[in-house]
Amino acid sequence: MLWINPQKAEGLKSAFPSLKISHQKNSLSVEIDKDKVLELLKYLKENPEYSFKMFIDFTLVDYPLHNPRFQAVYILYSPDYNERIIVKTWTDETLPSITTLWKGAKWAEREAYDMFGVRFEGHENLVRMFLWETYPYFPLRKDFPKEGIKDTYLPSLNERDNIPSHDYDPYHTAIPTLEDLEITERKRINKKNQIVLNWGPLHPGTHGTIWFLFDLEGETIKDCDIILGQLHRGIEKLAEDLTYTQIIPYTDRMDYISALCSNIAYVNAVEKLLGVEPTEKAKWIRTMMAELQRINSHLLWLGTTALDLGALTMFLYTFREREKLMDIIEGIAGIRLNSSFLRIGGVRYDLPEGSLDVIKHFIKDFPSRIKDYEDMLTKNRIWIRRNKDVGVVTKEDVYQYGLTGIMARSAGVPYDIRYIQPTDAYPEVDFEIPLGTVGDAYDRYLLRMEEMKQSLNIIAQCVKKLEELKNDKHLATENPYVLPTLQETYFSIEAMVKDFNLRIYGEKAPKGEIYLSGENPRGELGFYIVSEGEGRPYRLRIRSGAFYNLQIFPELIKGRTVADAVTLLGSIDPVVGETDR
């Protein structure tokens, strides 16, 4: 765990006497008054002894019975010392905005305002993040029902006479009108130039449902803003109502292109919280699947980016390889895309017969495909001209915006969770982490290509190891928090009772909190879980890599053209399911 050394944290007390330090098993947090928090964060950022330069996440937790009601949580990272710290404070209505310290906090604060209704003093444009401007509620407050306020009669148009199913309700939550969306749009951007172009939300080029607003002069973008929330499904709210195991399928549907990686990040966090140790074999299977999924995700990126830049055939070539990976994942996990393969304490199934043969075949075959892709693109003068010097990211940007994943590494910052905080079998495998020198879209292309090769390398090592571990257990069922396998339930009454208990009451995690992240293809996917000792999380905050990476988009695109926006968006590679959750 990467938490700051408690002794070092004690040192903060000399400058801030009112500081409260709480050192738990899985975290270290400091708590301070609201009016001092900005000062403390500035101190942490600028003092070379601490140098918590990088902004990781900000969120709120609602305690309706506590006074003041909302707890603010800042998570920071120090690249110099490889440490994390949590800073907490309490508030009822307002908080000082920290956008002066980290620009990356802009959206996080907007999200907090959107979800909890806490206002931020000094924020440049505090508007709704995910919901529309005229939406009257603050959904993540504990007193707001998960299914919303059903006040609109909105029946199915197809089936007026008969009721389609037992859980059908003709009353529905209010949907916005086009005027509402127009108000939302107006609040984001003021027309100063020739036209305001709505790029998205339902547009073939926006990788999902992101809504870009470009203030154009000719084809040059003078100003840009992004409206998110076109895929805001309320996963964080839903999670508060589910047991830890039940949340696993939802993590699939966040970053649906790299479902297994999200699974792993989440399950690791929960396992740390519960104190469960997965079996050796499960660790290796997880690592292998994560890397397969990483190749899968990078292939999708390559295909769609090439499609956006006009290389139509490339898209189909990458999808051909993706089909192979889908076949593997379908054979092992049972479903092609949202596999829900992981369980707390291991994986759902053992590897089926023949799976390692297929993966070996893939390892042998894939390098020649990568060579094809590189032949078509890497040295192509059009590709180079389109990608070079588009969206140059500097190291300072990385810390300011909390950029992670490829975005950080293209700027030369070695920020890879597999490297700084390895989980599963990552400490035992050999691989290289490619870093960029310039930080433009072309670097990010080269990095992703190189990462695919490295992932292949890791998979080869995993296959070798898994052949040795053939007869091991895939699930640590002896642990009281781990659900038994079906075979155990059939034959032992104890296992059945344990199964019933865990299903009904959930895994009763000890009181506490944890922040743990995994390296997603899109960046750091972190889970901040607050447990109140119940079977369900009290608050589950998802720190999405793409959410923070996308935040730099408006700044990088200023002064460039619409065509560059496509390139830049492709190289950031956001997935809306993850940014909006």
Q: Which residues from 42-101 bind other proteins, rule CB under 8 A?
A: none
Q: How far is the CB of 170 from other proteins (least distance, A)?
A: 9
Q: Which amino acid makes up residue 467?
A: E
Q: Which is nearer to other proteins, 263 or 400 (CB)?
A: 263
Least CB distance to other proteins at residue 570 (A): 8
Q: Which is closer to other proteins, CB of 28 or CB of 129?
A: 129
Residue 503 to residue 549: CA distance in whole angstroms: 37
Q: For the CB of residue 282, give the shortest distance to other proteins in the complex, in Å.
A: 16
Residue 524 host element (H or E): strand 523-531
Identity of the residue, 36 or 388, whose beta carbon is nearer to other proteins in the bound complex: 388
Which of these, 188, 548, 571, lies nearest to 400 by C-alpha position? 548
Structural tokens at position 575: 């997935």
Q: Give every CB contact of residue 279 below 8 A, 6+ residues apart in sequence.
A: 345, 346, 472, 473, 474, 475, 476
Contact 528, 74 (CB under 8 A): no
- The Cβ of residue 351 has, within 10 Å, a number of other Cβ atoms equal to 20
Among residues 60, 264, 311, 407, the one that binds other proteins under rule CB under 8 A: 311
Cβ distance to other proteins smaller for residue 72 or 446: 446
Pick the closest to residue 141 from 244, 74, 63 (CA basis).
Answer: 63
CA distance 224 to 185: 12
Range 323-352, binding other proteins (CB under 8 A): 323-324, 326-328, 330-338, 340, 348-349, 352
Closest approach, Cβ 466 to other proteins, in A, equals 13
Compute the least distance from the CB of residue 98 to other proteins, in Å.
27
Of the pair 317, 548, the CB lying nearest other proteins is at: 317
Given the rule CB under 8 A, which of 149-157, 264-272, 283-291, 391-399 is the region that contacts other proteins?
149-157
Q: Which of residues 251-270 bind other proteins (CB under 8 A)?
A: 252-253, 256-257
**Which lies closer to other proteins via its Cβ, residue 94 or residue 313?**
313
| Least separation in angstroms between CB 137 and other proteins | 7
Which parts of 169-188 interact with other proteins (CB under 8 A)? 169, 172-178, 181
Q: Which of 442, 391, 338, 388 is nearest to 550 (CA)?
A: 391
Q: How far is the CB of 108 from other proteins (least distance, A)?
A: 19
| The one segment of 3-11, 284-292, 492-500, 549-557 that binds other proteins by CB under 8 A | 492-500
Binding string, 543-562, against other proteins, x = CB under 8 A?
A: ------------------xx
CB of 564 to other proteins, least distance (A): 7
Residue 471 contacts by C-beta under 8 Å, 6 or more apart in sequence?
none
What is the footprint of other proteins within residues 421-480 (CB under 8 A)?
A: 422, 426, 430-438, 442-443, 446-447, 450
Shortest reach from residue 247's CB to other proteins, in Å: 8
Strands (E), 139-210: 150-153, 171-173, 195-199
Nearest CA among 578, 577, 550 for reference residue 565: 550
For other proteins, give the closer residue by CB, 35 or 161.
161
How far apart, in whole angstroms, are the C-alpha atoms of residue 568 and residue 205?
12
Whose structure tokens read 């042998």? 364
> Which residues, in sequence order, are CB contacts of 305 under 8 Å at separation 6+?
445, 567, 570, 571, 573
Residue with tokens 């203030």: 215
Which range, of 24-32, 141-149, 268-276, 285-293, touches other proteins by CB under 8 A? 141-149
Among 79, 96, 104, 229, binds other proteins (CB under 8 A): 229
Token look-up 């009669």 returns: 153
CB of 149 to other proteins, least distance (A): 8
For other proteins, the closer CB: 96 or 345 = 345
Burial 38-49 (b: 16+ CB within 10 A, else e): bebbebbbeeee
CB-wise, 22 or 457, nearer to other proteins?
457
Within 10 A of 277 (CB to CB), how many other CB atoms are there? 15
Which stretch, 14-22, 42-50, 131-139, 507-515, contacts other proteins (CB under 8 A)?
131-139
Comparison of 2 and 238: residue with beta carbon closer to other proteins? 238
Q: How many CB atoms lie within 10 A of CB 508?
A: 18
Among 20, 121, 491, 494, binds other proteins (CB under 8 A): 491
If phi over 0 gives left and psi between -120 and 50 gives alpha, with beta otherwise, what is residue 527?
Answer: beta
270 within 8 A of 530, measured Cβ to Cβ: no
Among 127, 238, 392, 469, binds other proteins (CB under 8 A): 238
Q: Least separation, in Å, of the C-beta of 563 and other proteins?
A: 4
- CA dihedral sign of residues 265, 267, 271, 277: negative
**In this structure, what DSSP letter does residue 485 have?**
P
Residue whose C-alpha is closest to residue 294's, from 433, 452, 145: 452
Residue 389 engages other proteins in binding (rule: CB under 8 A): no
Which 349-368 positions form the footprint of other proteins (CB under 8 A)? 349, 352-358, 360-361, 365
Give min distance, CB of 387 to other proteins, in A. 9
Q: Between 1 and 486, name the residue whose CB sits nearer to other proteins.
A: 486
Residue closer to other proteins, measured from CB, 35 or 167: 167
- Distance (Å, rounded) from C-alpha 429 to C-alpha 159? 56
Closest CA to 19 of 48, 55, 50: 50
Helix axes 280-308, 355-377, angle to 10 degrees: 30
**Of the residues 45, 53, 84, 232, which one makes contact with other proteins according to CB under 8 A:** 232
Kindly tell me which residue out of 2, 419, 457, 460 binds other proteins, with binding defined by CB under 8 A.
419
Q: Cα 118 from chain centroid?
A: 23
By rule CB under 8 A, what count of residues binds other proteins? 159
